[in-house]
Amino acid sequence: MTSIHVAHAGADYDVIVGDLADARPLLERLAKGRRLPLISDERVFGLYGRVLADVASPDPVLVPEGEAAKDWRTLAHITDRLAAMDAKRGTPIIALGGGSVGDVAGLAASLFKRGCPIVHVPTTLLSQADSAIGGKTAIDASGQKNLAGSFHHPLLVLADPTLLDTLDARQLRSGLAEVVKYGLIDDPAFFDWCETNTPQLLAGDREARRAVIEHCVRAKARFVTADPDDTNGTRALLNFGHTFAHAIEGSAGNSILHGEAVAIGMALAFDFSCELGLCPAADASRVRAQLQAANLPTTISDARLVVSGEGLMNAMLADKKADADGPTLVLTQGIGRVFVAKGVDPDRLSDFLGRRA
Ligand SMILES: NC(=O)c1ccc[n+]([C@@H]2O[C@H](COP(=O)([O-])OP(=O)(O)OC[C@H]3O[C@@H](n4cnc5c(N)ncnc54)[C@H](O)[C@@H]3O)[C@@H](O)[C@H]2O)c1
Ligand SMILES: [Zn+2]
Beta carbons of 174 and 129 less than 8 angstroms apart:
no
Pairing of strands 156-159, 118-122: parallel
Calculate the alpha carbon distances from 217 to 18, 140, 180, 258 in Å: 13, 25, 13, 19
Cα 41 to middle of ligand 2, angstroms: 20
Alpha helices in 154-254 (DSSP H): 169-186, 188-203, 206-226, 242-252
Report the nearest-CA residue for atom 27 of ligand 1: 98
Report the nearest-CA residue for atom 43 of ligand 1: 258
Residue 343 confidence (pLDDT)? 85
Residue 250 confidence (pLDDT)? 83
* Residue to probe by mutation, ligand 1, list 100, 101, 239, 256, most atoms within 8 Å of CB: 100
Which numbered atom of ligand 1 lies nearest the CA of 101? 19
Residue 321 confidence (pLDDT)? 63
| Residue among 172, 159, 165, 174 nearest 205 (CA) | 165
* Residue to probe by mutation, ligand 1, list 42, 126, 137, most atoms within 8 Å of CB: 126
Burial class (CB in 10 A: 0-12, 13-18, 19+), 150: middle
Cα 355 to middle of ligand 2, angstroms: 25
**How many angstroms separate the CA atoms of 295 and 199, rounded?**
11
| Residue among 26, 261, 253 nearest 144 (CA) | 253
**How many angstroms separate the CA atoms of 131 and 126, rounded?**
6
Cα 294 to middle of ligand 1, angstroms: 18
Cα 279 to middle of ligand 2, angstroms: 23
Question: Phi and psi at residue 299, in whole multiples of 5°?
Answer: -130, 160
Angle of CA points 133, 102, 221, to nearest 5°:
0
Beta carbons of 121 and 49 less than 8 angstroms apart:
no
Residue 327 confidence (pLDDT)? 80
Beta carbons of 21 and 166 less than 8 angstroms apart:
no
Beta carbons of 69 and 41 less than 8 angstroms apart:
yes
Please indicate whether residue 124, judged by its CB atom, sits closer than 6 Å to ligand 1. Answer: yes
Beta-bridged to residue 344, according to DSSP, are: none
Q: Which amino acid is at 146?
A: N
Please indicate whether residue 147, judged by its CB atom, sits closer than 6 Å to ligand 1. Answer: no
**How many angstroms separate the CA atoms of 130 and 132, rounded?**
6
Residue 36: DSSP 8-state: B
Please indicate whether residue 128, judged by its CB atom, sits closer than 6 Å to ligand 1. Answer: no
Splitting the chain (357 residues) into consecutive groups of 10 residues, what average pLDDT does each group show?
Answer: 89 95 93 96 98 94 97 98 96 98 98 98 98 97 92 97 97 98 98 97 95 98 91 94 91 88 98 97 98 95 82 80 77 98 90 89
Whole-model pTM over 0.75: yes
Cα 228 to middle of ligand 2, angstroms: 17
* Residue to probe by mutation, ligand 1, list 171, 246, 266, most atoms within 8 Å of CB: 171
Residue 184 confidence (pLDDT)? 98
Residue 326 confidence (pLDDT)? 73
Question: What's the Rg (C-alpha) of the chain?
Answer: 20
Q: What are the residues whose beta carbons fall under 8 Å from the beta carbon of 266, sequence distance 6 or more?
A: 177, 180, 181, 184, 240, 241, 287, 291
Burial class (CB in 10 A: 0-12, 13-18, 19+), 25: exposed
Angle of CA points 231, 75, 64, to nearest 5°:
115
Cα 346 to middle of ligand 1, angstroms: 32
User: What's the distance, Cα to Cα, between the start and end of the chain in Å?
Assistant: 45
Beta carbons of 122 and 112 less than 8 angstroms apart:
no
Cα 91 to middle of ligand 1, angstroms: 24
Ligand located closest to 153 CA? 1
